[in-house]
A and B are shown apart, each in its own frame.
Chain A
Amino acid sequence: MKPLNLIPIKPNLDFIGRRKLFFVFSALLILASAVLFGARDLNYGIDFQGGILIEVRVDKAGRLSEMRTELSNLGLGEVALQEFGAPTDILIRIQKQEGGEKAQQAAIDKVKATLGAGVEYRRTEFVGPKVSEELFRDGVLAVALAILGILIYIWFRFEWQFGLGAIIALLHDVFTTIGIFALTGIEFNLSTVAAILTIAGYSINDTVVVYDRVRENLRKYKTMSLYELLNNSINETLSRTVMTSVTTLLALLSLYILGGEVIRGFSFAMIWGVIIGTYSSICLAVPLLLYLDVNRGTARVKSDKEVAEEAAS
Chain B
Amino acid sequence: MVYFSKWKISIILGIVFLGFAFAAPNLLDRQSAESLPGWLPNEQVNLGLDLQGGSHLLLEVKVSAVVRERLDSLVDGIRIALRKDRIRYTGLGSRGEVATFMVRKSSELEKAKGLVQGVEQNLEVLGEGNRITISYTEQALRNIKNSAVNQSIEIVRRRIDETGTREPTIQRQGQDRILVQVPGLDNPERLKRLLGKTAKMSFHLLDRKGSIAEALQGRIPPGSMLLASVESNAERGQPQYYLVRKRIAVGGDRLIDSQPSFDSRTGEPIVNFRFDTLGGKKFADVTKKNVNRPFAIVLDGKVISAPVIREPILGGSGQISGNFTISGAQDLALLLRAGALPAPLTILEERTVGPGLGADSIAAGKIASIIGLILVVIFMVVTYGIFGIFADVALLVNMVLILGGLSLLQATLTLPGIAGIVLTIGMAVDANVLVFERIREEVRAGRTPISAIDAGYSRAITTIIDANLTTLIAALILFYFGSGPVRGFAVTLSIGIVSSMFTAIMLTRLMVVAWIKTRRATEVPI
Contacts of B373 in A (CB 8 A): 251
Q: Which of B494-526 contact A (CB under 8 A)?
A: 525-526
Q: Is A254 a contact of B422 with CB atoms below 8 Å?
A: yes
Contact residues of B between 439 and 456, Cβ < 8 Å to A: 440-441, 444, 451, 454-455
**Cβ distance B31 to chain A, nearest Cβ, rounded Å:** 27
- Kindly list 10 other residue pairs between chains A and B, CB separation below 8 angstroms, not including A122-B353, A123-B354, A128-B347: A123-B352, A124-B188, A141-B481, A149-B477, A157-B466, A200-B474, A201-B471, A209-B467, A252-B422, A263-B361
Closest Cβ of chain B: how far from A14's Cβ, in Å?
20
- Interface on B for A, CB 8 Å cutoff? 1, 50, 58, 60, 188-189, 192, 196, 346-354, 356-357, 360-361, 364-365, 367-369, 371-373, 375-376, 379-388, 415-416, 418-419, 422-423, 425-427, 429-430, 433-434, 437, 440-441, 444, 451, 454-455, 458-459, 462-463, 466-475, 477-478, 480-483, 485-486, 489-490, 493, 525-526
> Is A24 part of the binding interface, using a Cβ–Cβ cutoff of 8 Å?
no
Query: Among A55, A121, A124, A216, which residue has its beta carbon within 8 angstroms of that of B350?
Result: A124
Shortest C-beta distance, B341 to chain A (Å), equals 15
Q: Specify which chain B residues have a CB less than 8 angstroms from the CB of A213 in the assembled complex.
A: 463
Name the contact of A202 in the complex, choosing from B188, B471, B478 (C-beta under 8 A): B471
CA distance A310 to B437 in the complex (A): 21
The answer to whether A122 and B357 touch across the interface, beta carbons within 8 angstroms, is yes
Does the CB pair B375–A208 fall under 8 Å? no
Contact residues in B for A198 (Cβ distance below 8 Å): 423, 471, 474-475, 478, 489, 493
Determine the chain A residues whose CB is within 8 A of the CB of B463 once the complex forms.
208-209, 212-213
Q: Which of A37-45, A58-66, A179-187, A235-243 contacts B (4 or more CB under 8 A)?
A: A235-243
Given contacts A149-B477, A263-B419, are A194 and B430 in contact (CB under 8 A)? no
Q: How far is the CB of A295 from chain B (nearest CB, A)?
A: 19
The residue on B at minimum CB distance from A243 is B433
The CA of A246 and the CA of B11, in the complex, are separated in Å by 33
User: Please, which residues of chain A bring their CB within 8 A of the CB of B353?
Assistant: 122-123
- A interface residue numbers (CB < 8 A to B): 1-6, 9, 55, 57, 100-102, 104-105, 109, 112, 120-128, 130-131, 135, 138-139, 141-142, 145-146, 149-150, 153-154, 157, 190-191, 193-194, 197-198, 200-202, 204-206, 208-209, 212-213, 216, 236-237, 239-240, 243-244, 246-255, 257-260, 262-263, 266-267, 270, 301-302, 307, 310-311
Chain B interface, >50% SS class:
helix
Q: Which residue of A lies closest to B384 (CB)?
A: A3
Q: Which residue from chain A places its CB closest to the CB of B362 in the assembled complex?
A: A260
B411 → A minimal CB distance (Å): 16
Contacts of A202 in B (CB 8 A): 427, 471
In the assembled complex, the CB of B70 is this many whole angstroms from the nearest CB of chain A, namely 24
Which residue of chain B lies nearest to A50 when distances are taken between CB atoms in the complex? B349
Asked, given contacts A197-B478, A212-B463, A212-B466, whether A266 binds B349 with beta carbons under 8 Å apart, the answer is: no
Whether the pair A251, B383 counts as a contact (CB closer than 8 A) is no
Question: Which residues in A have their C-beta under 8 angstroms from that of B459?
Answer: 216, 302, 307
Q: Please give, as numbers and ranges, the residues of chain B lying within 8 Å of A112 by CB-CB distance.
A: 189
Residues of chain B within 8 A (CB-CB) of A4 are 382-383
Question: Cβ of A247 and Cβ of B426 under 8 Å apart?
Answer: yes
Q: Are A3 and B423 in contact, CB atoms less than 8 angstroms apart?
A: no
Q: List, in ascending order, chain A residues with CB within 8 A of B354's CB.
A: 120-123
Q: Least Cβ distance of A42 to chain B in Å? A: 18
User: With A247-B380, A259-B368 in contact, is A125–B352 under 8 Å at CB?
Assistant: yes
B349-A270 in contact (CB<8A): no
A50 to B375, CA, bound (A): 39
**Bound complex: CA A263 to CA B459 (Å):** 38
Structural contact, A9 and B467, CB atoms closer than 8 A: no
Give chain B nearest CB distance to A235 CB in angstroms: 11
**Cβ of B375: which chain A residues have Cβ within 8 Å of it?**
250-251, 254
Are A154 and B372 also in contact (CB < 8 A) when A3-B383, A209-B434, A260-B365 are? Answer: no
Q: Are the CB atoms of A125 and B350 closer together than 8 Å?
A: yes
What residues of A have a CB within 8 angstroms of the CB of B440 in the complex? 9, 239
Cβ contact within 8 Å between A311 and B458: yes
Residues on the A chain within 8 Å of B388, using CB: 3
Closest residue to A122 on the B side, CB-wise? Answer: B357
Asked if A259 and B351 sit within 8 Å, CB to CB, the answer is no
B366 → A minimal CB distance (Å): 9
23 contacts between A and B (CB under 8 A): A145-B481, A146-B474, A149-B474, A191-B416, A191-B485, A193-B486, A198-B423, A200-B474, A208-B470, A213-B463, A237-B437, A244-B433, A247-B376, A249-B426, A252-B372, A254-B369, A254-B372, A255-B419, A258-B371, A262-B50, A262-B415, A263-B418, A307-B458
- B-chain residues with CB within 8 Å of residue A130 when the two chains form the complex: 60, 348
Residues of the B chain whose Cβ atoms lie less than 8 Å from the Cβ of A131: 58, 348-349
